[in-house]
Amino acid sequence: MSNDTHQSASDMPHIIFILVDDLGWNDVSYHGSEISTPFIDELATTGVRLDNYYVQAVCSPSRASILTGLYQSHTGIDRYLVSEEPGCLQLQLPLIPASLRQNGYATHMVGKWHLGRSSNACLPMGRGFDTFFGIYGALVDYFTHIVSKTGPTLSGHDFWDNGRAAKELVGQYSTHLYAKRAEEIIASHGNGTVKKPMFMYLAMQAPHYPLQVPKEYLTPYLKIKDPLRKDFAGMVACLDEAVKNVTMALDKYGIRNNTVIIFSSDNGGIGKHGGSNKPLRGTKHLYYQGGIRVVGFVNSPLLSSKVKGTSYNGLLGAADWYSTLVEGIAGGEMNVNQTDGYNMWDAIRFGSPSIRTEYLHTVGGNCNWTPTLPFRDRDPKNVPSMYGTIRHGPWKLMIGDQMQQKVSGNHDYLNGPNGVSLFNTDDDP
Ligand SMILES: [Ca+2]
């Protein structure tokens, strides 16, 4: 406990953690993108932009790190999960919602889970969320809510409302559905129906592949020649509108003044699915900056006035959110045996230097598989003896063969001699 006093439940801030899926560095207009994101921009530029902020290179590992406060090498989730897997994120690891619930919060999840679904205990409501509305897996059609069958994986309906298959929602676009449910949850806290402070993990499905969006969102982007980029831009426009609607609900129901909004992508963009990380090197799946340095910011009236509208350049990462939310923002007890994270709340809200000097992005070895890919996509001929990426100060050391990742495009910059590369991230992004 760094806090010397407990906050009473009525003072504890509401927390909305908006995680977006595969949004690249160059996919928001405040980073210079051709995609217009006025509402995301407004939140970013009136809050604190996290400009030295890292997540994992693909979906499931980032979600595991965020929710456990552990490095990827400690969560056991080092790649994205597929539907038929028998396992899930280790059940003995406490997650943010369970900890916040113990500290008096109502806990809601809206959106994409992607941390295992093989038993009820693995699902969001088995892991500390009071309510869940969304999808358990990935690659779910935005309108039909059927899993895209892209390999030897399960297919079928994947859209759930508190454990019930929500078949009545078939045909409705998921970004709209998530925003609407988020607004309803905000209303229930704002109008006093739920008296506890709110934690909402709003894990938007967009703009992850498949590239689907109602046609009206494409209108401003008809001039974009690349059809993938055009569809992606429309999805981001709809996502931006969803962020606006959620934020406006906080105003409408009178709880904005005591709410902390956190916004983060879960990994970098990927060009073959419409995303862009320019000017950062590399893409989703890779530990180059484009894969792991992502759009992130915090917006709240609870930030000190001197940091509002500024960038925070201290190092922080996905594993820091557990301590930052539970110990920092909520002022609660951590109730964990192990953490790799730091409570960064004072650093973020006052702009003080980061406690963190180092971040272990990934490490592994002697494994006959390719990092970040599920077993079905691993090439048994590729046998890396060791791989890893670690950051210390501005320096990033990478070991191992990044070319084993299935990533299209020109990657002639990959791999130093003997598979070892050292980057100064200040001048070599
Ligand atoms: Ca992702």
CA of 9 to the centre of ligand 1 (A): 34
CA of 252 to the centre of ligand 1 (A): 31
Q: Is 284 helix (H, G, I), strand (E, B) or coil?
A: coil
Residue 81 resides in a domain: yes
Contacts of 168 (CB under 8 A, 6+ apart): none
Residue 361 resides in a domain: no
pLDDT of residue 222: 96
Contacts of 372 (CB under 8 A, 6+ apart): 57, 58, 61, 78, 79, 80, 285, 405
Residue 419 resides in a domain: no
Model confidence at 373: pLDDT above 90: no
CA of 150 to the centre of ligand 1 (A): 16
Q: Which of 15-24, 213-222, 264-273, 411-420 has the lowest mean pLDDT?
A: 411-420
Active-site option among 14, 31, 114, 285 = 114
Model confidence at 375: pLDDT above 80: no
* Predicted confidence band of residue 386 (pLDDT cuts 50, 70, 90): low
Model confidence at 384: pLDDT above 70: no
In the annotation, is 59 catalytic? yes
pLDDT, tens only, 202-221:
999 999 999 999 999 999 99
Residue 410 resides in a domain: no
Residue 368 resides in a domain: no
Q: Can you give the pTM of this predicted structure?
A: 0.93
pLDDT of residue 409: 44
CA of 59 to the centre of ligand 1 (A): 4
How far is residue 422's CA from residue 5's CA, in Å, rounded to a whole number? 44
pLDDT of residue 365: 56
Beta strands in 21-72 (DSSP E): 48-50, 53-54
Give the domain CATH number at 197. 3.40.720.10
CA of 79 to the centre of ligand 1 (A): 11
Residue 429 resides in a domain: no
Residues whose beta carbons lie less than 5 angstroms from ion ligand 1: 21-22, 59, 266-267
Overall residue count recorded for the chain in this entry: 429
Per DSSP, helices labelled H in 47-95 are 59-68, 72-75
pLDDT of residue 382: 52
How far is residue 123's CA from residue 164's CA, in Å, rounded to a whole number? 13
Per DSSP, helices labelled H in 82-218 are 96-102, 174-190
The average pLDDT across 274-284 equals 94
Residue 262 resides in a domain: yes
What type of residue is 119?
S
Model confidence at 44: pLDDT above 60: yes
Can you spell out the DSSP letters for 399-418? ES-GGGS---S--TT---GG
Q: Which of 97, 77, 133 is nearest to 15 (CA)?
A: 97
The average pLDDT across 293-317 equals 98
CA of 269 to the centre of ligand 1 (A): 8
Contact 41, 59 (CB under 8 A): no
Model confidence at 153: pLDDT above 80: no
Burial of 303 (C-beta count, 10 Å sphere; 0-12/13-18/19+): buried
Model confidence at 128: pLDDT above 70: yes
Residue 170 resides in a domain: yes
Model confidence at 405: pLDDT above 50: no
- Number of domains present in the structure of the chain: 1
Active-site option among 14, 31, 59, 361 = 59
CA of 104 to the centre of ligand 1 (A): 30
pLDDT of residue 285: 87
pLDDT, tens only, 238-254:
999 999 999 999 999 99
pLDDT of residue 13: 98
How far is residue 342's CA from residue 347's CA, in Å, rounded to a whole number? 10
* Structural domain containing residue 324: 14-353
Contacts of 251 (CB under 8 A, 6+ apart): none
How far is residue 146's CA from residue 134's CA, in Å, rounded to a whole number? 12
